[in-house]
Structure 1
């Protein structure tokens, strides 16, 4: 048997913490998730784009989710590539915006050139306080872009900037990030089921 009893108990507790959060989301977030599915469906049907942004681990989540929109989520579902962009994935644009305009503008600046009315922006921040995400959400609002927050820790200052906010009921960064990916996967699967008749 590997590890101490304390380690084994802690591992079990970590798994249970995540499970409790997902069970809460399953009962508390359904209406918001389905509203997000509807706006993503409408954007995709009309050829609009989805944008994703976040810092650190949330930047990785932004790239993860954008890739699954443009490539695929489920191997068994054949569908066209759908347009999605992870803002900040291009290091030249990221560093140029940071150098020329300041870090708070690293997502807002490219969004202002690439986005348009009818698009959807997912702002991902576990604290709800990331200045670059807040700025992108604010700019998106002025452009007619629907704003979706993948948030934690009560939502923070990001909450009023979101047309739809999915707030993970935890202040623990790792648990929030785990739930963000789960929510993103669920949203995409539900959109696929609506747009690809054979998927559901």
Structure 2
């Protein structure tokens, strides 16, 4: 049992070191945070989506913008597409493949950000969401893995965890990226200072 615990932690550490060793990953995180900050300053919002654990990550990102991260501050506009009524309605009456794209068709607007999360980068409902976002004039930030995948290709900014045999290692990188991006967004917007942009 001890070996399993130690090996798992070592594998996670190796994955993180590999991710950190690529300068383009670090730059992409900062670029993504800058784009989100500018969108919020322009009275736009972030819409987030993913499947399974990636939807949990999307929800986590959104709630820490609308709620709080490490300290009190003004709320920031973010939505995770996790409404059960919407998902089951569209999934039942149309297709599971349209659960995110249809929401974006309804709620997205030019200048908004889509944060699309997929460990494989090839989930069809996520790709359709990206296509809808592009048609709306939204900016797409993709959290995915380091492979030749559709989400990476479609994203204006792609942040790619090392490709591994299991999705949990990719998700562990994604949640670290999410927390760092929130920290950067707060810094770029100076949200603990008097508000200088419209909400």
Do Structure 1 and Structure 2 share a fold, with TM-score over 0.5? yes
Match of 1:152 in 2: 145
Any gaps of 5 or more consecutive residues in structure 2?
194-199
Matched, 1:166 2:129: no
1:36 aligns with 32
Asked if residue 17 in structure 1 is aligned to residue 45 in structure 2, the reply is no
What TM-score, normalized by structure 1, do the two folds share?
Answer: 0.90
1:61-88, Cα deviation, whole Å (9 max, x unpaired): 11111101100111x3x3211111101x
Report the more deviating stretch, 90-99 or 21-30.
21-30
Q: TM-score, normalised by structure 2?
A: 0.90
Give the number of equivalent residue pairs. Answer: 190
* Corresponding residue of 2:98: 105
Match of 2:60?
64
Tell me, yes or no, if the aligned pair for 1:127 and 1:155 is still in contact at 8 Å: no
CA deviation vs aligned residue, 1:17-37 (integer Å, no higher than 9, x gap): 222222232232111111101
Q: Which runs of 5+ in 1 are unaligned?
A: 1-6
The partner residue of 1:188 within 174, 182, 191 is 182
Q: Contact (CA 8 Å) 1:155, 1:167: kept in 2 or not?
A: no
When residues 198 and 94 of structure 1 are mapped into structure 2, their CA distance, relative to the original with a 3 A threshold, is: closer
Q: Does 1:96 align with 2:89?
A: yes
Q: In 2, Cα distance between the equivalents of 1:17 and 1:92?
A: 39
Aligned position for 1:140: 133
Separation in 1, partners of 2:137, 2:63: 24
Shift of 1:155: 5.0
Q: Could you list the per-position Cα deviations for residues 80-101 of structure 1 after superposition, in whole angstroms to 9, with x for gaps in the alignment?
A: 11111101x1111111111222
RMSD between superposed Cα atoms in Å: 1.5
Structure 2 partner of 1:130: 123
Deviations 1:80-126 (CA, angstroms, capped at 9, x unpaired) = 11111101x11111111112221110001011111111111111111
